[in-house]
Structure 1
Amino acid sequence: MKRTPLKRSPIVRKTPLVRTQPSKPNRKGSPRTSVEFSENTRRKARIRANFSCESTNCRNPPTQHHHRRMKSQGGIGQLVNDHLVCPEHHRQIHDNPDWAYRHGLLVRSHNEPVNVPVYPGCSLDCQENHVNQ
């Protein structure tokens, strides 16, 4: 049995395609839904931290806003999710996630940052579980 090549007819739209949603998500929405910290939230975090790193006894200038609940886990740009830190402590938080979860510096996706206290003053040697997540 001999096979014949399929013939495809071009599809012609009778009406133009209309997009119902924007092609890129709007990240500059309201502070409740935006994943980035607004300038107002950043200012409030600097005032709350007294313009210094929120880790205990750190004298480095705070230049990074850390999401306690990561953006990939649904963290949004609210003040309770913001932790103002220097680059050294920000790297320490992400390099040691088990330690950071135990001290409330990272929050699991099923918890709200407002319900998880922060214990930033412990060293990396601390094995105590300050926060049950």
Structure 2
Amino acid sequence: MSVDAITFRTRKWVRPEDLNANGTLFGGSLLRWIDEEATIYAILQLGNHQVVTKYMSEIEFVSSARQGDIIEMGLRATAFGRTSLTMRAEVRNMITHRSILTVDRVVFVGLGDDGRPTPHGYTEITFDRDRIPPQTA
């Protein structure tokens, strides 16, 4: 994914609690971070606080990170469905400049108050914050 194609980006600092027994970034920690950031991105794109992860395509770790490294996660919406948003994720190590992993498809579904998929009405990426859902009491 080219840097220009990424529309949502965040960075994390790899700390001791993020390491596995080999002293490298624990894959479970990285997947949790991706899911959390993708959830935030889906909320902003769908204008709905109630989104759930529906699907994540195959994940292949091609390199890792060590304590003190900074990783960058990039997300880009690739398709809008009637109730869903599909995105692509890429993670790279900013210290080594190596790709850590790419996830070709991450799908989120927006839910209604009844917990069922609900149409969102969007067809394109927004860079505004207009879609941030209002707080409910």
Q: Same fold (TM over 0.5)?
A: no
* TM-score, structure 2 as length reference: 0.26
Q: Which has the larger radius of gyration?
A: 1
Relative contact order, higher structure (CA 8 A, sep 6+) = 2
Which has the larger share of strand?
A: 2
Answer 1 or 2: which has greater helix percent: 1
TM-score for the superposition, normalised by structure 1? 0.26
